[in-house]
Structures are given as structure tokens and as C-alpha cells.
Structure 1
Amino acid sequence: MSGLQNLEELSFWRCPELITFDDSIVLLGKLKILNIINCGELKYIPLLKLASLKKLTLSNLYSIKSFSPMLNEALDKLQFLEVIWCPFLKYIPPLKLTSLKTLTLSHIDRIKSLSPMLDESLDKLKILMVEYCAKIQTIPSLKLPSLEELTLSNLSSIESLSPTLDESLDKLKILEVDDCGKLQTIPSLKLPSLEELTLSNLSSIESLSPMLDESLDKLKILKVVDCAKIQTIPSLKLPSLEELTLSNLSSIESLSPTLDESLDKLKILKVVECAKIQTIPSLKLPSLEELTLSNLSSIESLSPTLDESLDKLKILKVVECAKIQTIPSLKLPSLEELTLRYLSSIESLSPMLDESLDKLKILKVVDCAKLQTIPSLKLPSLEKLRLGSLSSIQSLSPMLDESLDKLKSLKVLFCKKLQTIPSLKLPSLEKLRLGSLSSIQSLSPMLDESLDKLKSLKVLFCKKLQTIPSLKLPSLEKLRLGSLSSIQSLSPMLDESLDKLKILMVDGCENLQAIPSLKLPSLEQLWLVILFSIQSLSPMLDESLDKLKILEVHGCVNLQTIPSLKLPSLEKLTLKGLYGIKSLSPMLDESLDKLKVLNIRYCYDLCSFPHVMLPSLEILNLLYCYFLESFPPVMLPSLEILDLSYCKSLESFPRITSRSMTKLKILRLEGCEKLRNIHAINVDSLDEFDYSGCPLANNPVTDFEKAVNKLRQKYRSYIVEYDTEEVGLLMLPNMFAKDFWDQITHFATLIDPKNNKFEVLVERVNGHFAIILKVRFGKKVKCPVFNLPMQFVIDKTSVQPTFNNIVPSSLIGGKWKLFVDCCNLYEEMRMRFGAPVGGKNTALYVKVVAN
């Protein structure tokens, strides 16, 4: 490192063979940031004489037992120190770090004490976080005169915060104590600057005395959560308190004397999951702006809670209070948002809405199963109304009989008995969504009135709806019709000219047989998805849609041909799951000069790709077109990505000439089992080349054939054996590690004795590559056996391009575990399992849809 004197940031990340550092690291005199992460074999870090270092992160170092002599006086500019996941670290020396401002200690399982680490005076330390250190029993007295934020979390052996808080921490503003199961008391808090206090998951705490006996004059936020043994909360003498949250306090029976004192500045009050509370006292809270009452299963009435006038209350939420039968008249002159949800005993909204709530802007009434009628809404300021899962409602009269002149958004969902919706006299309405209204047969007279400002209309899952009237919606920009199983025609709905419509989505209308000619001069996006009865896109596309940029046609399995596309502005075209399409003519016969992306997937019968000139095309995907035999020498001068994966009949690939595909950077030919005739490709000019699953040249002669064969070795399929009577462990011998160390991608296919194929991302477990099966609680389980051989394939559009050092240990139970343990997935991720539309198959595709 002697030649890097000007280096300012250095990261060692996933260096599995790194054991120690060269002494030349001390020559990095200008280094400001040093990260040492996932270096599992690193055992020793030398004395760091880095006079300019400001930030040091040490994470996932499984062989480090001590930081001596690494941390020393020479790091006098270090401001940020983070030590995470060092499970064998037993000792941290005294921190003589005069500039340190932030210190994080997390998942250090063998540390028993923070002495002598914190015995030195860290005069500038502002933030201290200690979490997941299971063996720490005490934290020494904190002599931290500048400390502003302290977090103590998941310290399962801590029994007391003395002497931690015995010293005066005059500048401490934020204190969080979380998940310290053995902590029984918290001492009196002498914290004159404290503004935020959070106490959560303290299962042994029985009282908040003497903690709150001192006056905390500046405290603004107090949260007490999941403290199961607390029976009462003392009177709160907190003159500056603005937010109070009491949640999951299962032993609390009353909020007296908690709220007996006048909390004149309290703005937000949340009382959640306190099952034994039967009444809430009259709220004398003159500044209250937001009130949430949720999961209070013993509450029968909101009197006397709301009997006092709460003149400044803006938001009221009453959720999952199963025994409440009525809500009193709301004398809330400033109320702007009202949510009533999961009130299973409510039969009427009278007398609650009998008073005039002149400023109410948002009203949500959801999952009130016994509610039969909603009174006339005298809400002159209402802008947003949502009615959902009201299973006893049969009519929206007299609710909508009044004119709601300012209403902009209306949602009516899952009201299974609702048969009609009255004429909407809503001159300001911009968004209308109707969903899962299983008894609705017609949208008349609802849409008979002119809704001149309506911009978005969604009608979904109304299975009995047979026709939609002509839409006189001059401002409509987005229209979605989804899962309307009784609709056979879009006439007369689209007969009117919708001059401003930009997005049209028609999906899941399985009996829709034809779509009329689209006279939509402003249309930019058109989505046609899972329309099983559609055989032709004529006359829909016969008109010129000059502004159309995106055309998506998915799962129309009986569609035979697509007419010539006269779409001069088209930029993206996707055809997916069109099993009847054999040719792309005459669709591509017209010049599509602006087309940038062409996606054709799962068009199994497509036999050929035409000779086309697409001057702007940048991405061409032809995936799973099983009968495509050849790819012609097309002129695609702008093409950067070409993917022909799993075109299993493809036998040849054209020569890339100076005129054809000069900008090509990524070429994917994965799973092209018959591909043998590939004209010379300059692999060096490509950023990515995937030839996995293709046959090897039997006698490689040319440099190209040798290069392909060499790359092909990196995409092996491994036959794996396992004993189903023992724990589920599939281990690839360590000799295969090099197959995955520098490859373009790191997918492997594991084939078990039952011929099940599992496509996985190869991960590292204790120096080996393996799959371990565990249920969500961490218990090892037997490998599943699939009687019908299955193939589990990763949707590679959503896979991270990096290794994990350790396979996640407990994600999901059941038969999928064999697959997902090796897919770079984390807890709380959502996955979608799917298969090609229509027909029978044995392949399942897995995609991450949300974190």
C-alpha cells in the first residue's frame, strides 16, 4: 500500500482469505474511511496509526478476539466507530478517542462488560448504541458530558440501569431502552434535557416509578410499548409532553391517574392493544390534534372520552374495538380525518355524524360488518371517502344524496350486498375506484351524470357487471377494467371519444371477445392482460395511435395474429404468453423508428424472427420461444442487450457485422440446448456473455470455441445426494468453490436423486458451499421429496449480483426451503411463485416482489 499515500477511503469486503494486514497500512496518512466487513478469517489487526481516520467500521469478523493494539491514541480524529457481528470478541480496550462522536456496539456475544472501554472520558461522544450483547450484565457509570442519544437494546442479561444513569447526563435528549428482559426497575431519571423516552419490550418491569417521579420538564415524546407487567402508570407531570404512546400493555386496566394531570401541550395520544382497559377518562387535552384508539377489546363506549370538547383535534382513529356499539355525537370543530375500522358491533353511524363536521376532509369506514346504513353526509369539506368491507350495506343512499362538492376521491370496495350506486353529483371528483362489488350488475345511474373532472377510474372484480355505459368523462386520463368476468364487449363504453385518456388497462376479463377501434388521440400506455377470448387485436389497433409509447400484451393465449402496428411513437413493446402467435408479421412490417425495448417471452410457437430494421432498439428479449430455430442477420445498430435464453430449438446465431449490432454489450444464450453454429463473437467486447446450458464444442479448435468451453465450465449442474432420514444438508465439495469465484453470474443447478432441479445462488457456509434446510424457528428438517419432479427457477431480473458470506438461517419453512435458502433472501421479503400462463408444466419461477 506504499503507493497509495493519497487514498481517503479503503474497504475490505468479503475477503475470505485475509488473515492480517501488511504493516504498510500505517503509510496511508490521508485515509479518512476504513471499512473491514465480512473478512471471516481475519484474526489480527495491527496498530492503526492513521492520523486522518474519521470513520471505522468493523463488521462480521468471526475470528477477531481482541482489538488490542488496533485502537490507540493515534486515532485522535476518529469520529465514528462501528463494531458489529464480532461473535468471538471478548475484550475492547479503553477508548482513548478524543474526537469520537458516534459509537455503535452490536451483536458482540462474548463481551461481558463495557469496562474498561468506557472508563476513559469520551468528552465529545454524542451517540451511543449498545444492542444484542447478550452477556453484558452491567453498564458502568457514563461519564459522557456531551451525550445526546443513548440506545440500549436486546441486552438480555441486564438487570439494572444503575450505575449507568446515576451520573448526570445533562445533554441527553433521546433515551431508548428496548428488549431487556431481566430489567426490573429504572432509576429516577435526572435528565434535564431529555426530549424523547422509549421503553419497549421490558417484560420484567412492573412500575414506571421511580423513573418518572422526577420532573422531566423538556420531555416531548414518551412511548411505553410491550411492557406486560406494568399495571399502572403514575400521574404524568410532564409540562412539555407533545406525544404519548401506550401500546400492548396487557395488565393496564385504567388510564387513571396517568391522564389526570393536565397535559396542556399534548398533541398526539395513541392507546393501542391494552386489552383490559374498559374506559378512558374524559380527555382534558386542549392541544390534542391526533387521537388513536386501537385494539381495545374491553372498551364498550367512547363516553366519557369524547364528552369534552377537543377543539383542536384533527385526526381521530378508532380501530378494532369490537365491543363499541355506538359513537357519541362528535363535537370536534377542527376534525379533518376520521377512520373507523374493524368495529364489528357498530350498526349505525348516528349520532356520530349528526353533528356538522365542517372541516372533515378524509373519512374511512372499513370492516364494520353490522353497519347497514350511513346517514346523509353533511360534510362540506370532504375530499376523500373510502368505504370498504361493509358486508351489510345494500345501498349508498341516503349517504351520497347530499352534494359533496369538494369530494376528490371515492373508493367503494368489498361491499358484497351493494346492488346499485346512486347518480354521483360530485363535481370535483378526480379518482373513483369500485372493487369487489359482487352484486353490482350495472354502473347506471352512477355514471349517468357528467363527472367533468374525473381523471382516474378503476373497476375491478365486479363479477356480475355485464355492461359499462358510454363514458362521458372529458378529463379521464387513466382507465383500468380488471377481472370483470361477465363483460363481453367494451361497447358502448369506449364509443365516446376520451380525448385525454393516457393509460388504458384491460386485464382478467376472460369473456371479453373484442375491443372496438380505439379513438384515443392522447393514449400513451395500453395494457391487455389475460384476455383468454380475444383472438385478434383488430379493429382495436386499426386506428392510428400516434402518441402510444408502451404496448403490453400478456397471457392472451388464443390470440393468433397482431396487425401491422402504425405506432410512430412506440418505445416499448411486450408480448408475453401468447401461445398462438407463430410469426411477428405483419406486426413488425411497419417502421417503428422509436422502439427502444422489445420483449417477447413465452411465445412457445413463434417460429421465426423477421428481417427488420429497428434503428432505435436498445433491448431485445426473446425468451422461452421454444420453436424459434434461427435468428436472422438483422440491422439493429443501437442494440445493447440481446437475450435469447431458453430458445431450445435455436441452432444458429448470425455473424455480428460492423453494421448489424455494433453496440452490443450483453448477450445471453442460456439454455439454448441445440445452439451449435455461432459465428465468431468478440467476447472481449461484451460486458456480459451467458452461454450456460448450451452444448460444448466436442473438439474446440478456434480461440472462440475454447473461450466458450472455458466459460461453460462455470455453469455446472451438480448431482447431489442426501439422506432423507438425517438433517437436510446438501454439501458441494470445497473443490468446486473455484467454479463460482470469478464467474459472470453465480447460478448453479442442483439435481437430486429424484431428478428435481433447484436453480440456486451459490453461497458460502463455513468454508463450503451448501444448502441447509431449516424451519422458521431454526430447527433443521429433512429434505422434501417431490413425487413429480419439479424445476425451481430464479427470475433473474430480481437477483442481487453479489455473494452472501453466510446462508440466511431461518427464512421460511416447508417444501420451498430447499430452494430459497440459497437465493439471497432476507427476513420480511415477499416472494411470488408462478408459472407460464396456461397449460401444464413442472417449472416454478420465484421472484422477490418486496423488501
Structure 2
Amino acid sequence: MQLMHCQMLKEISDDFLQMVSGTVLINYHRQGYGGIANLGLANVLVNSNYWHGIGKVTLMDGEIRTLVNHKKVQPLKVLLLDGSGLRGQDLNSLLLNNQELQILGLFSLRIISLPRCFCYLKKLNVLVFRGCDFLEKIDEIAELTTITVLEVSGSCLIESVPDNFFQQMTQLRALHFSDLQIKVLPKSFYDLTELRWLILKGLSHLTELKSLKKCQKLMVVDLSGAASLPTFPEKNLKSLSKLQTLNLSNTKIKSLPILHETKELTHLSVSSCRNMDRLPSIRSLTNLQVLDISWSAIMDFQDKSFESNSSLKILDLSGTAIPWVPFNISKPCACNLVKIEAKFFDCLEKLRVLNLSKTKVKDLPCLSPLKNLHQLLLSGCLNLEKLPSLASRKLEELDLSNCQALTMIEDVSFQHLPRLRRLILSNAEIERLPDLNSLSNLEELNLSGVISIERVDFIEHMSKLQHLNLSETLLEQLPSLSNLKGLKHLFLRACQQLEALPPLEVHHNLETLDLSQTAITQLPFLGNLSNLRTLLLNDCPSLEDFENLEMLHISQVENLPCGISNLTQLQCLALPSKKKNIQAADSNKVTGWHQKPSELHWSFSIVDGMVSNTGRALISYNDSLFVEFLGSNPSLLDTTSNHLLISVHPIEVQNGAEDLVLCLIKSYSFLQH
């Protein structure tokens, strides 16, 4: 449900929801520390004269309503309604019949303006419009004098709000405007003295924000995504002494206000502020838990030490131009982070997330003080040569992907990490894999591109593994996977020494199986993999089960071997070539291409929704095999046919970027032009 997702409600039982209690701050995206701003009802409705609790609610026909006692009819107090819940009823009459509403949530309604009946909702405390894409005006809300929480998000056609809009909303405590097209806030906004939460996310056209000095009770200010906003209105935050969260990410703001007077501040984010090159002193922010300056232009710290910031849990410096992050900072220079001094982590015992991805550090200081560290992210640290001892028994994620200078990891590194759930070593130049036998709680293991790997017997003990990627390794044999009953994704792409698979009958949870570009000669029976959605067998020329299979006609999907035809959930199927060495297609047939298909390494995927039982499957052919397929199915290119969808994309994807072209084929002219 929408309110449960944004932490406004929690489920107590199948029939009851309860309001979330306690302080709710911005949910930062790294394991509960970042990203989605919510309304903070647990804070803003406390001590409200109009608020008497949400009561008991129930789910009925796509709507959430207050429970009704059939012996005594009670007025409806809570109504959460999505676009499909109206069932033809007129919104105006619906609200006229429920004038006692206290909470009204309208999601994805196809309305342009609001009905006049809004002025009759005299007891309304909470009003949420979310995803109402066609909404152009919200002027009628101005007459709601009891409103305490207001959200209008995702209505990108709203370009202005009347100046007197907030004049009668004297009790407003939480305001959430996101993805609107307004350039300025109405004048009456600046008189909202009871405001606690101000969320103005994604207001890309907002060019001006005036002084917030009258809003002295503000706890959260989120201006992230206000990409046209050049300045923050206050030079210091003395008037906003209760502020706990300040998010200025993705704005044009050049400088932060002086932060000395905001001792309650816990979250500070200036991520992707490309015009901001300096961070003011944060020494007085003793309660600061999150400092995110990632991808900003900041090149300097004013403070010599973080010793006073003992509550810091997240420090994100990824993508910055900071040259030094020492215990005592020396004169900086304009280069990427290359060194962290020995004592830097000594005062950061509460740090939970350390993200130094894509920096130029060669080595790290001792991490033993970081006993509460949950995530260590070092992806793309091309110069990192040595990994220090990992002493945090609470570590859950370690990412060393693309650490190309890291050739050795000591065996002891993983012996005391009982909570590790995610280990990413992809494309690391490790000469010898350390002992991983103790990692019994791993849920994701990515060793793709670690060419030193020939055996992975240790995975037999990883019974909780869900995601296993061994692509592009020298793996010769897989051990038994029978103990990995929760496995969902298995990637073995380009394991060119791998000729056989163990039985897979027990893996009913498997959703992805990638065997492309392997030397597999025979598939195990796959018909029991009831949840399999993606099966990739392209460029497996040695597969015996497909050697005698004639060019697949699109009506023959039901006759595939190894139980593939029984996979009712299959959405993507890439078939192997029937010849070990497919020659390039005759150049006369592909004169429109600058190179022959086999040289370009294109993959062609085909969907025909008009043929029974094939609309669910995506069939993929590579290079000239696609041309041969068209030759075997000429009727599909009939000019009267409009149901064949062709997806064209490169087989090799560089740097994570993939160009995708979708075409509707009606004639052979596609191959000629």
C-alpha cells in the first residue's frame, strides 16, 4: 500500500493497520539511510487539536476505508483511493457523501481539476495527491482550514499556485510538493509558522526561495532536484535551530549556510551539487549521522578533524575531487582522493557505510575502529593494492569490483564476517581466491571476470545463496548445487572450459540461467524449473540436444528439448546456433549494414504475439542465424503483418551501456535499408 511504503502505516495483522510511531526521518537509500522523503506523520500530527488517531481501517475492493460497525453506521474517516477504485462513481458525489473524512489519499486519478466539494471537508487533516498526471489546478484546496499534512506529487502539469493558497492553512505541519512545474512558491507559504516538514523534490523550474525565518519549527528541508535553484535563502540557520535534515542534492546552490546553530542536524546531503566547491565547518554538528557530498565539486574540508562528529554513520565521498581525507588536513590540491591518513577512522566508531568507490586510494588505514561498519564499497578503485583486515563482525556488504590492482586478499580477511550477505569481486585481478568457506550467510556472490577461478567447491556450504555469478572465469566443473535450494539467478556466461552442469531439479526458485558462450554439451532436464523466466543458450555450439534441430519455426516452440517447452513462466529464451561455425551471411542480403552481421555481433530477438503460446517467449538469434530464420519463415514479413516485433542490440555491452532498437517489420526492406 502507498502509505505503508512511505512508512506512514504498518501492518499489525491481516485486517488492521497501525500508524508508525517514533521519529521518522528521510529514509537514506543505503540499507535504510537514503533516498525517499516521507510525510513524517508520526511527528507532525502529535499534539494536533484536530487529530484523534487513524483508528481501524480495512481493505475493500481496492480502497482502504475505516471499519464500519453494521449495528451502528459510523461516518467514513479514512479513504485511500487509486485510479481503478472509482468504478465510474463521480468523485464529487463520493466526497459529498463523506464529509467527515480526516484522511484522504487519491492516487493515479485521471482528473484535470478538483471538484468544488473540497470546501465541505471541514475535518480533513491529511490530503495526499500522488501520481495524478493530468491534474492542472489545485486551487480548491485553499479552503481547507483544518489541513495538517498536504502532499501533491507527480502532477507535472501544475505550473502555478495562487499567492493566497496557504492563507487559511494555519495548522499546516507537513508540505510535500514534488515534480511540479512551479517557478516560485506562493507568498502565503512564507507565513506557515507551524511547518515541520518541507519537501520540494524535483521542482526543476523553481528559481527562487525566500527567507524561511518564520518557519522556525522546521525539522526537514528537502530541496533535492530543484535544478534551477541558485541559492539557499539563509546565510546561517540560526532561525532554524530545530532542523534535523537538510537535502540540497542536485541543485545549483553554490554555498551552504553557516551550520553552527543547527546542533540537531542529523542528515546533510549536497550530492551532485556541481557548483558547490567548499564545505563549511561541521564541528558543531555533534548529532550528524549522514554526510553525503558525493559527485559534488567540493575539494576542501574546513575542519581539521571529525573528532567531534562521533555520531557519524555514513560518509559518502564518491565521485568528489577531494585529495586528502586525513585526521589533520593539509593543504589540498585539485586531484582525486589518493590517501587517507592513519588515524582518520579512529573517531568514527558508529560509521555504518563507507563508500570510496572510484577513488584513487592505493591503500586504506586500519579499519578496526569501525566495529559498526555494515557496508564497505570500493568499486572501481583502480589503484587499490591491499585490503586491510576487516574487523567488523557486522559487515554485510563488501564490493571490490573492478579493483584491478588488487592481486591478493589474505585468507584471514573473510574468517570473521559472519553477517556478510553480499560479496562482489567481479573483474578484480586476484591471483588466488581467498578461503570463503566461512561465509555461510552469503546471499549474493559475484566472481565474474576473476580469471584465476577454476573450482568453486566452497559454494556447497552457502545454503542461503540467491545470486551466483561465475561468468568469464576458467571454471571447469560445478560442484553439486543441491544445497542451494533458494538460488534465483545463476550466471555462467563465457565459462569456456565448462562442459557439464549438475542436476537442477530441486531449484524451483531459479529465475535466470545464463549458459551463453559456454562449452556445455548437454543440458540437464529443465522442465521442473517452474519459475524460470530467462534462459540464455546463445553461442553454445556444442549442445547435443540442438544439433539436429532444424531452423526453429515460430510455431514449433512447443517442441523444444530438455523440458524447455514446459517452462510456463519463461519470458526470454536465447537459442544456440545449430552449427559450430556459422558463416557470415551473404553480403547481398545485408547491403544496408556497414559490416556483416557476424562482424557486428548483433543479437536479434523475435516476439510474435499472434501465435498461440509464443507471445510469452522472447526468442533470440545471433548474427546470420537471424537471416536464416527469416528465410524459413517468409510469411512473417508479409506486408499485411503488423504483429512481429524485432529487438536489435549488441551482444557485447561496454561500460554498462546498451543501445536498444525496437522495429516493426513489414517487408524485406528492413534488411536492405
- TM over 0.5, yes or no? yes
In the TM superposition, residue 455 of structure 1 has moved relative to its aligned partner by 5.6
Highest Rg: 1 or 2? 1
Please state whether the residue corresponding to 1:338 is helix, strand or coil: strand
Matched with 2:406 is 465
Q: Decide whether aligned partners of structure 1 residues 100 and 756 sit closer, same or farther in structure 2, where only a CA change above 3 A counts.
A: farther
Contact 2:76 2:101 survives alignment (8 Å): no
Does 1:816 find its partner at 2:628? no
Equivalent of 1:425 in 368, 379, 402: 368
**In 1, Cα distance between equivalents of 2:80 and 2:393:** 59
Cα distance in 2 for partners of 1:479, 1:167 equals 53
Question: Separation in 2 of the partners of 1:749 and 1:453?
Answer: 42
Q: Shift of residue 335 of structure 1?
A: 2.3
User: 1:253 maps to what in 2?
Assistant: 208
- 3-state SS in 2 of match to 1:226: coil
What RMSD, in angstroms, separates the aligned Cα atoms of the two structures?
Answer: 5.9
1:121, distance to aligned residue in structure 2 (A): 9.2
Q: In structure 2, how many angstroms separate the alpha carbons of the residues matched to 1:182 and 1:596?
A: 46
Task: Tell me by how many angstroms 1:394 deviates.
Answer: 0.8
Segments of structure 2 that go 5 or more residues without pairing to the other structure are 1-59, 64-74, 571-591, 593-607, 634-639, 652-657, 666-670
Alpha-carbon spacing, 1:604–1:315, altered in 2? closer, same or farther (3 Å) = same
- 1:514 counterpart (447, 451, 454): 454
In the alignment of these two chains, the number of paired residues is: 512
- Which residue number in structure 1 is paired with residue 497 of structure 2? 559
Rounded to whole Å, the distance in 1 between the matches of 2:502 and 2:107 is 67
For the 8 Å contact 2:164–2:186, the answer to whether it is kept is no
Unaligned 5+ residue runs, structure 1?
Answer: 1-78, 83-97, 126-143, 379-389, 589-593, 608-624, 630-646, 651-667, 691-723, 725-735, 761-767, 774-783, 794-811, 820-841, 843-851
What code does the residue aligned with 1:483 have?
A: S
The partner residue of 2:445 within 489, 497, 505 is 505
TM-fit CA distance, 1:328: 1.8
C-alpha separation in 2, matches of 1:358 and 1:208 = 45
RCO higher in structure (CA 8 A, sep ≥6): 2
Distance 1:458 1:209, change over 3 A: closer
- What is the TM-score of this pair, normalised by structure 1? 0.48
Answer yes or no: is the 8 Å Cα contact 2:83–2:107 preserved in 1.
Answer: no
Asked if the contact 1:157/1:180 (under 8 Å) is kept, the reply is: yes
Per-residue deviation, residues 732-781 of structure 1 (Å, max 9, x unmatched): xxxx99x86xx555469999x98775999xxxxxxx984499xxxxxxxx
How far the C-alpha of 1:231 sits from its partner, in A, is: 6.5
Q: Does 1:242 align with 2:180?
A: no
Q: 1:314 aligns with which of 248, 266, 284?
A: 266
Partner SS for 1:816: strand
Report the Cα offset of residue 421 of structure 1: 2.2
1:488–1:514 CA contact under 8 A, matched in 2: no
Q: Is the aligned partner of 1:670 residue 2:557? A: yes
Task: Evaluate the alpha carbon distance shift between residue 419 and residue 791 of structure 1 in structure 2; reply closer, same or farther with a 3 A threshold.
Answer: closer
- Residues 255 and 817 of structure 1, relative CA distance in 2, 3 Å threshold: farther
Other-structure match for 1:475: 416
After the TM superposition, which residues 319-338 of structure 1 pair with which residues of structure 2 at under 5 Å, given as runs?
319-330=271-282, 331-338=284-291
Partners of 1:80 and 1:547 in 2: how far apart?
42
2:145 pairs with one of 162, 172, 192: 192
Alignment of 1:657-736 (within 5 A): 670=557, 672=559
The answer as to whether partners of 2:312 and 2:351 remain within 8 angstroms in 1 is: no
Match of 1:365 among 305, 310, 317: 317
Q: Is the alpha carbon distance of 1:439 and 1:194 closer, same or farther for their aligned partners in structure 2, counting shifts above 3 Å? A: same
Q: How does 1:582-593 map to 2 (within 5 A)?
A: 582=521
Who is 1:827 aligned against?
A: none
Deviation of 1:392 after TM superposition, in Å, equals 0.2
2:296–2:319 CA contact under 8 A, matched in 1:
yes
Q: Deviations over 1:242-289 (max 9, x none)?
A: 212235264543423xx131432x322122416244242133234322
Shift of 1:373: 1.2
CA distance in 2, matches of 1:121, 1:503: 48
Cα separation, 2, equivalents of 1:412 and 1:334: 23
Between the aligned partners of 1:167 and 1:563, the Cα distance in structure 2 is 68
**What is the 5 A alignment of 1:766-845?**
770-771=642-643, 815-818=661-664
Paired AA for residue 221 in structure 1: L
Structure 1 counterpart of 2:182, from 220, 228, 231? 228
Aligned to 1:347: 299
Supply the distance in 2 between the matched residues of 1:597 and 1:670 (Cα, whole angstroms).
18
Match of 2:379 among 411, 422, 435: 435
Q: Aligned to 2:223, what secondary structure does the other structure show? A: strand
Q: Which residue of the partner structure matches residue 626 of structure 1?
A: 546
1:836 aligns with none
Query: AA paired with 1:351?
Result: D
Aligned residue for 1:223, secondary structure, equals strand
Give the direction of change, closer, same or farther, for the CA distance of 1:671–1:771 in structure 2 (3 Å limit).
closer
**Alpha-carbon distance in 1 for matches of 2:439, 2:170:** 63
Q: Give the structure with the larger strand fraction.
A: 1
Give, in whole Å, the separation in 2 of the partners of 1:672 and 1:792.
Answer: 28
Alpha carbons 2:198, 2:222 under 8 Å: kept: yes
Give how far 1:400 is off.
3.8
Aligned CA distance change for structure 1 residues 199 and 772 (closer, same or farther; 3 Å): farther
Q: Does the CA-based 8 Å contact 2:158-2:180 persist in structure 1?
A: no
